């Protein structure tokens, strides 16, 4: 695969993908997971802590702290600091902003971290205080949380597109197969279509295996100049393009499309490639319907054509359309805001020839998509990035 994109020597690259292994529940607070990710970034890069002068941080469970309190807690002295309360879009937005910071000289090395804990009562606490909208309009009626929201979105999408449960099941089963070789995935046991279809109802039309499992953990990476990555001997990926769009299509009564549809032409134009030249895709996948929307809005198929696209392709690591190759959140688990970083760290590993599980043969380019901040009938934040294997 060849593309015509030319990089300047000072271009920022992304390096040192780290995962703090997920656990279903933890006694540790979010700060512990942030610190564990930072330590892994320092060890993996062989930099000193003082060399990291930028931080992009996403977490739902830091309260009452923000990234400011965490920087003091971890003993970081920063020239550039960003707190990103954007859930599943935060990883790509972190990459996007860190790249700008490095290329403009505002920071030299930016640590991008998504981390959350999951105590036994974390989920209820997070839902109750998620947003003013959630607190006032949804939670009091017992419809708080993503299951109710995604049941609404999924039922609506199925009516409009003719999607069947078997279509969503095909995605879930492929991701479970991908997870089977990934040491960090929490759900690695085989999943059959019979298991999928027969699982207990959570909120019609969603059954158990349509729903992401909350857990604790962290993901992270570093953004730095290409020459520095080379000097440190670090495998790295080029950032061909990024985009973000928030509150797109606000007039749609129920979300059927996201901000990717508005940004995709510019995203691919800047990258110098088109959808057919992407070797692997990591979509944000807390529920399978949102993967369908991303496949459409990112131009891999037309609107409402994802069900047929799913029937026509295979999504395992060795398939003709490798998708969520680490298992995605549906099989790895959703460590809160780290879910928005999971696709990036996996794409980086695949592109630098160091996957944790099975490799996508000859992978040169990857598209990673993010989605976050659901308010009953829509997610507000959308983002995407296109990466290419670097020279490391």
CATH number of domain containing 86 = 3.40.47.10
pLDDT of 230 over the 50 cut? yes
pLDDT of 222 over the 70 cut? yes
Cα angle vertex 213, ends 210, 217, to 5°?
Answer: 145
Cβ distance 242 to 96 under 8 Å? Answer: yes
Q: Is residue 130 part of a domain?
A: no
Is residue 385 located within the same domain as residue 354? yes
Is residue 225 located within the same domain as residue 252? no
Q: Which residue has the higher pLDDT, 137 or 346?
A: 346
Question: What is the pLDDT at residue 62?
Answer: 93
- How many distinct structural domains can be found in the chain? 2
- Rounded mean pLDDT, 7-17: 80
Please write the tens of the pLDDT for every residue from 235-255. 999 999 999 999 999 999 999
Is residue 203 located within the same domain as residue 352? yes
Q: Is residue 246 part of a domain?
A: yes
- What one-character-per-residue DSSP string does 30-70 give? HHHHHHHHHHHHHHHHT--GGG--EEEEE-SS-TT--HHHH
DSSP 214: B
- Rounded mean pLDDT, 78-97: 97
Is residue 202 located within the same domain as residue 94? no
How many whole angstroms separate alpha carbon 308 and alpha carbon 9? 43
Which tokens sit at 138? 């949804």
Question: What is the pLDDT at residue 119?
Answer: 83
Cβ distance 366 to 281 under 8 Å? Answer: yes
Is residue 272 located within the same domain as residue 316? yes
Is residue 112 located within the same domain as residue 149? no
How many whole angstroms separate alpha carbon 28 and alpha carbon 7? 42
Is residue 323 located within the same domain as residue 367? yes
Q: Is residue 341 part of a domain?
A: yes
Q: Is residue 107 part of a domain?
A: yes
Q: Per mean pLDDT, which range of 89-93, 123-127, 346-350 is the poorest?
A: 123-127
Is residue 276 located within the same domain as residue 347? yes
Is residue 111 located within the same domain as residue 187? no
Mean pLDDT of the chain: 93
Cβ distance 383 to 89 under 8 Å? Answer: yes
Please report the beta strands in the chain, taking only residues with DSSP state E, as ranges in sequence order. Answer: 12-23, 54-58, 80-83, 110-116, 201-203, 206-207, 216-225, 236-246, 280-282, 365-374, 379-389
Please write the tens of the pLDDT for every residue from 322-354. 999 999 999 999 999 999 999 999 999 999 999
Domain end, chosen from 181, 198, 231, is at 231
Is residue 182 located within the same domain as residue 247? yes
Q: Is residue 7 part of a domain?
A: no
Is residue 222 located within the same domain as residue 253? no
Structural domain of 354: 142-212+236-389
Q: Is residue 79 part of a domain?
A: yes
Q: Is residue 127 part of a domain?
A: no
Q: Is residue 4 part of a domain?
A: no
Question: What is the pLDDT at residue 145?
Answer: 73
Is residue 71 located within the same domain as residue 194? no
pLDDT of 9 over the 90 cut? no
- Rounded mean pLDDT, 359-379: 94
Instruction: Kindly report the pTM of this predicted structure.
Output: 0.94
Please write the tens of the pLDDT for every residue from 273-316. 999 999 999 999 999 999 999 999 999 999 999 999 999 999 99
- Please state the φ and ψ torsions of residue 107, each to the nearest 5 degrees: -150, 160
Which tokens sit at 274? 């088109």
């Amino acid at each position: 695969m060849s593309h015509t994109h030319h990089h300047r020597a000072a271009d920022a690259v992304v390096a040192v993908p780290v995962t703090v292994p997920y656990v279903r529940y933890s006694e540790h607070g979010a700060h512990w997971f942030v610190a564990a990710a930072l330590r892994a970034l320092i060890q993996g890069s062989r930099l000193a802590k003082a060399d990291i002068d930028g931080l992009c941080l996403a977490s739902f469970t830091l309260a009452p702290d923000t990234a400011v309190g965490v920087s003091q807690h971890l003993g970081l002295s920063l020239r550039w600091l960003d707190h990103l309360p954007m859930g599943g879009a935060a990883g790509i937005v972190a990459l996007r902003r860190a790249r700008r910071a490095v290329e403009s000289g505002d920071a030299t090395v930016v640590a991008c971290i998504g981390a959350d804990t999951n105590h036994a009562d974390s989920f209820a606490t997070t839902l109750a205080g998620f947003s003013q909208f959630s607190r006032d309009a949804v939670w009091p009626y017992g419809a708080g949380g993503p299951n109710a929201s995604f049941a609404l979105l999924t039922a609506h999408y199925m009516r409009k597109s003719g999607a069947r449960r078997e279509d969503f099941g095909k995605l879930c089963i492929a991701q479970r197969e991908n997870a089977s070789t990934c040491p960090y995935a929490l759900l690695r046991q085989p999943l059959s279509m019979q298991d999928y279809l027969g699982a207990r109802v959570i909120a019609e039309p969603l059954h158990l295996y349509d729903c992401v499992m909350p857990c604790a953990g962290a993901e992270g990476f570093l953004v730095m100049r290409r020459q520095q990555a080379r000097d440190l001997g670090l495998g790295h990926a080029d950032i061909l393009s990024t985009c973000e769009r928030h509150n797109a299509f606000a007039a749609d009564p129920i979300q059927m499309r996201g901000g990717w549809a508005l940004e995709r032409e510019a995203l691919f134009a800047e990258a110098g490639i088109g959808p057919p030249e992407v070797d692997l895709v990591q979509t944000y996948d807390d529920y399978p319907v949102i993967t369908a929307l991303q496949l459409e809005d990112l131009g891999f198929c037309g609107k409402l054509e994802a069900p047929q696209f799913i029937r026509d392709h295979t999504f395992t690591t060795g398939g003709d359309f490798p998708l969520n190759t680490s298992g995605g959140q549906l099989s790895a688990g959703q460590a809160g805001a780290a879910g928005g970083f999971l696709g990036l760290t996996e794409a980086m590993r695949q592109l630098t020839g160091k996957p944790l599980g099975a490799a996508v043969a000859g992978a040169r380019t990857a598209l990673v998509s993010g989605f976050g901040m659901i308010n009953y009938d829509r997610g507000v934040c959308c983002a995407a990035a296109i990466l290419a294997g670097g020279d490391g």
